[in-house]
Amino acid sequence: MNNQVKLIDADKLRIWLAKRMHHPRIYGDPFKCVLDAMLNGEFDPDTPPVPTIKPGDKVYHKRFKAQGKVKKISASGKRAYVVWFDGYVPSYVSLDSLEVVE
């Protein structure tokens, strides 16, 4: 038995419905149309982007203007544990707040 949660992208559903709401006779039973589209994967969420920051990368914190080195990425893939060169305490920070430094 597969207990994995199946999600849909609400924006894709909204756009799909908006395109069809002006022509109800063309598309037939609305419930069946939505169900068929769902089963065909038309509303499946896009695959999230793979983070480009990885352990060992030198990074720059955009807000605090500090540089450091990534030691590990959190299990969620949204945060990095960084050891800072500027004397700050090592910490987990959001990947969105970091840039890779060459």
Q: Which two three-digit tokens encode residue 5?
A: 């949660």
Q: What is the pLDDT of residue 27?
A: 62
Q: Are 102 and 59 in contact (CB under 8 A)?
A: no
The whole-number average pLDDT for the span 79-99 is 93
Q: Which two tokens stand for residue 43?
A: 């509303």
Which pLDDT tens digit goes with each residue over 34-74? 888 888 888 888 876 665 899 999 999 999 999 999 999 99
Closest CA to 100 of 64, 44, 48, 62: 62
Sign of CA dihedral 38, 40, 42, 48: positive
- pLDDT tens digits, one per residue of 17-31: 888 777 666 666 777
Strands (DSSP E) found in 2-65: 58-61
Q: Is the pLDDT of residue 12 over 90?
A: no
